[in-house]
Structure 1
């Protein structure tokens, strides 16, 4: 009899422990759902969308010196998204491109990361991305009057890339396979282009959109050009990032992106910023 009573007590105690665990788990799940809802609701209540972007990321996101307003591909897209969310004000915080996603994850005041961000599996492990907005490849930049004309000419040369970009991996792979001599890392594309012009590096790998925009504007004061005979090796899509927990915001933004693709607004923004149908990502 004592054994039976003891057994019953043990069973009841065990059930109590399991019941306690389920209750805590349920509360945790409910808390998460509430947080997800409040994320979008809070943004709408404040009438303010806070984003983080690299400084002077032409042509993705930058301050137009003539109008003193934000300009660029991603700037125009996020402005339209905010408008359709019913938000009339966007606050911009700056961070180096290499620290963009980390800033998003660690600063609770920031809602989204914006500014020419390639969607990759590694990045998707730490943040969520919107549906792809547009696509592009890399390009190789060299001094305008150099004898570098194709990839094989790079074999004994030093290549520059911007820190935090997917092109760092590409350059390291080239070095590993003896396609180039070495890799030098720079903090921005502007620094990279200046270094190529000053012959601190022999060539550079960068976003084709960035380089094409730079050259279309006359190349500023830097006599540079792209490699004449080169087939891109990176074909990627770009999007905007949100924290993993902000599911309601992500879903709402994705609906807006679908609408912008359907009504032609997204394509019009891309064309206004010098892109074309080659950059379009189908719905």
Structure 2
């Protein structure tokens, strides 16, 4: 009887030991599964914070977090797929190429690089008389003015301007057979200019000072050049880069530049946005200045035969907006 009890107890102890061993083994397996790292994560990092040891904060940021940092206007532009700019359609700054139908010009090429870096897919243009560009901007019919516009105190009262893109001055265009050889010989002559431009203001100053006989207004560059080519005016005052480009590209114009000539209205050029779009302005400026530092901007200018004289560095190019 005692022997029977002893054997039974022995079997019971063996069975209990076996159960305990299985239980310990199962717990060990479960613990191992719970602590095993997921693919691509660090063993010590939780799923919500894991990142590659070499990743920068920008790499670790989610797309939604980056989007939250963008200005309201940049988000709106990306949503519609393009930025709508205002321009008077003047070559070689900001114009539509008649052969290809595509936008072209030095200002367009600078803006295209800015847009590429900001993630803006496309650029579209609304043609507006130069004198009405800032009006249309503040009427919210365009996103930005991009048309070789000088940054001037009176314009800074109407809109906010980017830092300067480049600089240049005016030229006087006369018929190829003109007897005029100097600015002093414009006395008593009829001069044409485009309203809303710095050059019109210069011509108005000449008129007020009696240095010219009459001032005629023309709405755009094409009609301005046609007027002097057809002898409706004795000379026109216009943008120096425009004048050089126009005479080089259109052999039908029997015109030349007045030379020697010392520019009076040299200035620095930028793009304009509304006062309410300051955050977008900062994004554009950051991108523009990066282009100045890495040489991209100067490379674009050189494509238009513009020398270092036209370049404005980061410090010199800062625009002090009034609002």
| TM-score under structure 2 length normalisation | 0.73
Aligned match of 2:268: 237
User: How far apart, in 1, do the equivalents of 2:304 and 2:257 lie?
Assistant: 20
User: How far apart, in 2, do the equivalents of 1:235 and 1:209 lie?
Assistant: 11
Which of these residues, 240, 250, 262, is aligned with residue 281 of structure 2?
A: 250
* Pair 1:48 & 2:79 matched: no
User: What CA RMSD, in Å, does the superposition of the two structures yield over aligned residues?
Assistant: 1.6
* Pair 1:221 & 2:252 matched: yes
| Deviation at residue 45 of structure 1 after TM alignment | 3.8
User: How far apart, in 1, do the equivalents of 2:307 and 2:221 lie?
Assistant: 22
- Is 245-254 or 37-46 further displaced after alignment? 37-46
Aligned match of 1:278: 309
Report which of the two has the higher share of strand: 1
| Deviation at residue 110 of structure 1 after TM alignment | 2.1
Aligned match of 1:83: 116
Aligned match of 2:176: 144
| 1:93 alignment partner, SS class | strand
Aligned match of 1:211: 243
Which of these residues, 146, 150, 161, is aligned with residue 129 of structure 1?
A: 161
| 2:169 alignment partner, SS class | strand
CA contact (8 A) 2:273 2:281 kept: yes
CA contact (8 A) 1:140 1:206 kept: yes
| Deviation at residue 136 of structure 1 after TM alignment | 0.5
Which of these residues, 113, 126, 132, is aligned with residue 145 of structure 2?
A: 113
User: How far apart, in 2, do the equivalents of 1:282 and 1:136 lie?
Assistant: 14
User: How far apart, in 1, do the equivalents of 2:72 and 2:161 lie?
Assistant: 19
| Deviation at residue 48 of structure 1 after TM alignment | 2.5
| Deviation at residue 248 of structure 1 after TM alignment | 0.6
CA contact (8 A) 1:162 1:192 kept: yes
| Deviation at residue 50 of structure 1 after TM alignment | 1.8
| 2:276 alignment partner, SS class | coil
Segments of 5+ residues of structure 1 without an aligned counterpart are 1-33
User: How far apart, in 1, do the equivalents of 2:191 and 2:180 lie?
Assistant: 12
User: How far apart, in 1, do the equivalents of 2:125 and 2:229 lie?
Assistant: 31
User: How far apart, in 1, do the equivalents of 2:218 and 2:100 lie?
Assistant: 29
| Deviation at residue 63 of structure 1 after TM alignment | 1.8
User: How far apart, in 1, do the equivalents of 2:100 and 2:208 lie?
Assistant: 46
| Deviation at residue 191 of structure 1 after TM alignment | 0.8
CA deviations over 1:214-263 (Å, ceiling 9, x no partner): 1222x431111111222111110011100011011000000000011111
User: How far apart, in 2, do the equivalents of 1:273 and 1:184 lie?
Assistant: 30
| Deviation at residue 47 of structure 1 after TM alignment | 3.5
| Deviation at residue 95 of structure 1 after TM alignment | 1.0
* Pair 1:58 & 2:91 matched: yes
Tell me the number of residue pairs that the alignment of Structure 1 and Structure 2 aligns.
246
Task: Kindly indicate whether structure 1 or structure 2 has the higher relative contact order, using CA contacts under 8 Å at least 6 residues apart.
Answer: 1
User: How far apart, in 2, do the equivalents of 1:100 and 1:204 lie?
Assistant: 22
User: How far apart, in 1, do the equivalents of 2:114 and 2:192 lie?
Assistant: 35
User: How far apart, in 2, do the equivalents of 1:94 and 1:195 lie?
Assistant: 21
User: How far apart, in 2, do the equivalents of 1:164 and 1:70 lie?
Assistant: 23
Segments of 5+ residues of structure 2 without an aligned counterpart are 1-67, 315-323
